[in-house]
Amino acid sequence: MSVGVQADCGFSFEMNPAVTEMRDWVHGFARDVIRPAAAEWDEREETPWPILEQAAKIGLYSLDFFAQQWLEPSGLGIPVAWEELFWGDAGIALSLTGTGLAAVAVSGNGTHEQMAEFLPPMFGDADDIKLGAFCASEPNAGSDVAAIRTRAVYRESSDEWVLNGVKSWVTNGGIANVHVIVASVDPALGSRGQATFIVPPGTPGLSQGQKFRKHGIRASHTAEVVLDDVRVPGRCLVGGKERLDERLARTREGGKAGQQAAMKTFEATRPAVAAMAVGVARAALEYARDYSLERVQFGQPIGQTQAIAFMLADMSAAVDAARLLTWRAAWMARQRKPFIHAEGSMAKLVAGETAVRVTEQAIQILGGNGYTRDYPVERWHRDAKIFTIFEGTSEIQRLIIGRAATGLDVR
Ligand SMILES: Cc1cc2nc3c(=O)[nH]c(=O)nc-3n(C[C@H](O)[C@H](O)[C@H](O)COP(=O)(O)OP(=O)(O)OC[C@H]3O[C@@H](n4cnc5c(N)ncnc54)[C@H](O)[C@@H]3O)c2cc1C
């Protein structure tokens, strides 16, 4: 199934050839390189640098590839690529795609100069791979982004910003070359008083705090980032000071100030995160289907029992439904259509919940084997759970969809 644009009817499920070609190429890497390495890196709980190197060598981990897919005209470039990578393994795939969140935070709101200066060092090159990290969450500010305490203070005399605070649960936190930080510049304005800052490579005062030991996506590094008098030049304020000052002035006058910095980034990346979840769900569906054809009990393949076939039917329908919501949201985002009905949140909610349910059903279909580490479905189940938590929990997505549906300020 595929989506594209056909001139004669204005609507089509035909995927364009460039996207299919890219999908097959990424799938080959996921199948041949990522899948075979998945169990090892899950156990090691470390960033899989050798896999990143292999991906960088073929151009799959690169700014070029990311930019090309992000700007792909149908909007399907990123969702299709991410689905394949996460079909391979979610932990390794998050190590390959985590930089994207930081890149979007800069490219979505930054100036051309900022993109030219700071996007390349987020990716590095095949001989010297680098990562980016996006740091919004804090120990006391997860869903409640307005509660961010990290402070950014401007020193006019030296045209620099001084950042202080602690960021939590940061993907690539402390091991990234470039960190993108959401901080409060005017706490009295709550979330409207926040701005985003780039911390260039090697800036003193930024360090890694504790590294988290996780339930799933263990090949992806998650850690605290400590900011202790981190001084960055004025040009590191994403979007520039003039724009920030105008926005703050509008807010103080009680006018509309546009979207909160972190929320804008999360909204842009929601279809991409939904696609990650679809990839994990599809992996589990395919594995359970194949297993059900081979496993014989009571003299017949278990897939021939209605109980298992119905489960597979529900799983198939759920994965396709999640993918269609994801592609709709990605297409809308690319066409710059606003998510009036919270279409991005719908995709993230349904895909995340689907990944958890389908991977759980896959364990059930594999029975005892499914519960062991000799089979990948238990890992996929652990991995899937993250999709109901990060980049807005399922409850937060429901709040957003509920607000869109009712027009009320649902809390
Ligand atoms: C592996 C991993 C990687 C991450 N990567 C990053 C990253 O790179 N950058 C980054 O900035 N953050 C990152 N995060 C943080 C992530 O976005 C937060 O964990 C998430 O937003 C939830 O925040 P919290 O953990 O503080 O949960 P809380 O906000 O404390 O929520 C706890 C529970 O309360 C519910 N809840 C809270 N408020 C409401 C409400 N108003 N209505 C209904 N229910 C509510 C939540 O849905 C949840 O079930 C990552 C997290 C993890 C686990």
Pairing of strands 222-233, 194-199: unpaired
393: CA distance to ligand 1 center in Å? Answer: 6
Could you tell me if 36 and 377 are in contact, meaning their C-beta atoms sit under 8 angstroms apart?
no
Ligand 1 contact, 276 CB (< 6 A): no
Residue with tokens 């090309």: 68
CA distance 295 to 170: 41
Query: What are the CA-CA distances from residue 322 to residues 257, 276, 326, 346 (Å)?
Result: 33, 11, 6, 9
Q: Which atom of ligand 1 is nearest to the CA of 411?
A: 41
Ligand 1 contact, 147 CB (< 6 A): no
Reading the chain (411 residues) residue by residue, the pLDDT tens digits are 455 555 567 778 889 999 999 999 999 999 999 999 999 999 999 999 999 999 999 999 999 999 999 999 999 999 999 999 999 999 999 999 999 999 999 999 999 999 999 999 999 999 999 999 999 999 999 999 999 999 999 999 999 999 999 999 999 999 999 999 999 999 999 999 999 999 999 999 999 999 999 999 999 999 999 999 999 999 999 999 999 999 999 999 887 656 666 776 777 799 999 999 999 999 999 999 999 999 999 999 999 999 999 999 999 999 999 999 999 999 999 999 999 999 999 999 999 999 999 999 999 999 999 999 999 999 999 999 999 999 999 999 999 999 999 999 999
Could you tell me if 81 and 28 are in contact, meaning their C-beta atoms sit under 8 angstroms apart?
no
Mutate to test the pocket of ligand 1, among 143, 150, 221, 269 (most ligand atoms within 8 A of CB): 143
Q: Which atom of ligand 1 is nearest to the CA of 394?
A: 47
Ligand 1 contact, 396 CB (< 6 A): yes
Question: How many Cα atoms sit within 13 Å of 212 on the Cβ side?
Answer: 19
Single pTM value for the model: 0.96
Ligand 1 contact, 390 CB (< 6 A): yes
Closest by CA position to 27, among listed 82, 69, 106: 82
